[in-house]
Each structure stands twice: as structure tokens, then as C-alpha cells.
A and B are shown apart, each in its own frame.
Chain A
Amino acid sequence: MANTFVKIQTVTVGSATPTASFTSIPQTYTDLVLVFSSRTSRASDSDGMFITFNSVTTGYTQRDVLGSGTAAVSGNSATRYIGETPGNNATASVFGNAQVYIPNYTSANNKSYSVDAVAEDNDSSAYVSLVAGLWSNTAAITSISISPQTGPNLNQYTTATLYGIKSS
């Protein structure tokens, strides 16, 4: 049977840390799916999350639509932004969830990615985020890291799992 949705690696944050990273990503899959559950140390109800490919922090653009429960807004930026997650002032024990789908990650084309993220804490600051991202870089993706937009840290118990999907 073809290797489908195969777990490559799981990272669990044991103590607050600025990033969670996956390195030496096998180049044998077609697409990658990153699923993570996160909370940051930002002294606020929410924080943005960033993604970084191959330790390169340039060449990113994104366009998003966010629902806060009271308004729907849309933005765009030349950043690594991939949606909202709970900050340290969110309801205790609440972690946000997100899925990042990266097709054709080994190709020699620029890398498009799709992000769905949620952060619900039964309070006034919660978000559902849809993000369209583009990394204008033709290199194959060999490493991925996630980090807070503000942070500075990902809190303990943040987890992230990287899966590989094969098209044949």
C-alpha cells in the first residue's frame, strides 16, 4: 500500500521555547501536512504564529480572512504569518489548533501553502483563521519551524506533528 499520511516526526514542547522545528525532512513524499496545537507566552489573549522554511525568513507573502466572533476581517502581508493562537492571557489550558498543507514541497517551483487555524477560549478574544501563503523560493523544503509572532515563546505542552502524503 502506498505511504499515505505517514507521521514523519512529532515535537512536544517540554519547557517554553522560541521555536518548534522539523529538520532533515525526507524528500520522498509528495505533500506535507503540519498539524499543531499551540499556546504562546505573549501577555495577551492571542498571538500570531509564524512558519519558516529552511531557516529562510524572507520571500513570504500571505493573504488571510479572520473571524473573531464579532467581525470578519481580511489582511495581507509580506510575512510568515499563519493565523492566530491563544496567548498567555487566554483561558487557562486552552491551546489553538492549526493545519498547514504544503503540496509539492520538493518541487522547483515557489511553495504555496494552505492554513486553517482556530483559537477558541470561551472568552472575548478567539479566532478562526484561513490563510493562503506563498514562499517565493524554488528550493525543496528540508526543514520547517513554527514560532510565535510576538511570544517570545511557545508554551509547554505545545505539540506539532509533521505528516507526509504520497500521491502514488
Chain B
Amino acid sequence: MPKTYEPIQSQTVGTATPSVTFTSIPQTYTDLICVVSAKAASTAFDLYLQFNGDTGNNYSWTALSGTGTSAVSTRNSNGPAIQLDNYGSVRTTDFNTNISHIMNYSNTTTYKTVLARANAASSGVDLNVGLWRNTTAITSVTLYINSFAVGSTFTLYGIKAA
């Protein structure tokens, strides 16, 4: 059977924490899917992603958002992380869904692209695209906010093209 959505790692927050990291990611898949069901422990916060521990200003992102009353778009260049949401940020009231598709993550000739869907029925819905300006294969993924609430879940899946 083809390897589709094969679970690589899964983490559940047992004590409020600002970040979750997947390390030693196998280089045997084509794409990665990161499914997040998260709540903020204290105040609502945007969800950020970094690769391979890179905290330099090597990221950019663009968002298409629905606020519930208007459609808006925004972007950021030369930042320290990819923002995976805009209006559909991680809230304190419910576990909201963020699904990120990291394409060709093991490729060593191209910059890395992320397509993310963020969902918070109370505040907004987003489609974000992010870019990491680095041709290195992705071996770790870090997701962070101010503090993830207990019960937040994070799963990294691998998808193989053949």
C-alpha cells in the first residue's frame, strides 16, 4: 500500500509549553503534513514555524484571510519564522485546527515552501504560504506560540510520491 499520511511523530502537551519540536525527521518521504489542534494557555497568539533551529531572518509569508466580515491579505518578509495564521490564530477557548503542507522537504536544491490552513471559527480563516530561504533538507520542525495549553496535539505525517 502506498505510504500516505504515514505518522512520523506525535506529541501531546502535558504541561503548558511555548514550543513543540519534531527532530530527526526521516528523509524518506516527499512531503510532510503537520496537523495541529491547539489552544493557547494564556492569551491568543499566532502560530509560528521554524526549520532546523534557524532563528535568523530567513523566512517570509503571505496570508489570505477571512475575518468574518472582510477578506484581507497581508505579508511579511525577512522575518525569524513563518507565521502559519493571521486571523485564525491559536485561541484560549477551543482547540483550533492548523494544517501545514511542507513540500519537497528533503530537496537540497530549492528553498522550502509551506502551505498552511488556519481555522478559528471565532476569529478567522486563513490560507498562508511561507518560504524558508534555505536549500538544506529539513530535519527538524519547531512550532511555537506564547504557551500551548495542555491537551494541544501535534502530529507530523509523511507523504510519499511513489
Residues on A facing B (Cβ under 8 Å): 1-2, 4-5, 30-31, 61-67, 72-76, 101, 103-104, 107, 109-110, 112-114, 116, 130-134, 136, 165-168
Contact = CB atoms under 8 A, between A and B. Distances in A.
Contact of B70 (A61, A74, A101, A134): A74
Contact of A130 (B3, B10, B35, B125): B125
Contacts of B65: 65, 74
Interface string B50-88: 000000000000001111111110000000000000001
Contacts of B72: 74
Among A5, A131, A167, chain B packs the most CB atoms within 10 A around the CB of A167
A1 B21 CA distance: 24
20 contacts: A5-B5, A61-B122, A63-B124, A65-B64, A65-B127, A72-B71, A74-B67, A76-B68, A76-B121, A109-B94, A114-B119, A132-B88, A132-B96, A132-B97, A132-B125, A133-B121, A134-B121, A134-B122, A136-B94, A167-B153
Contacts of A165: 5, 157
Contact of A104 (B1, B37, B68, B124): B37
Contact of A131 (B95, B122, B123, B125): B125
Contacts of B126: 130
Contact of A4 (B64, B120, B151, B157): B157
B125 A63 contact: yes
A2 B65 CA distance: 35
B123 A63 contact: yes
Contacts of A113: 97, 119
Contacts, number: 124
A30 B155 contact: yes
A73 B155 contact: no
A66 B119 CA distance: 14
B68 A74 contact: yes
Given A65-B127, A168-B10, 14 more contacts: A2-B6, A4-B3, A63-B66, A63-B124, A64-B66, A74-B65, A74-B71, A75-B66, A101-B99, A112-B96, A131-B125, A133-B121, A167-B153, A167-B155
A110 B120 CA distance: 12
Nearest to B10: A167
Interface in B83-110: 88, 94-97, 99
Contacts of B64: 65, 72, 130
A130 B73 CA distance: 14
B7 interface: yes
Given A64-B66, A116-B117, A132-B88, A103 B35 contact: yes
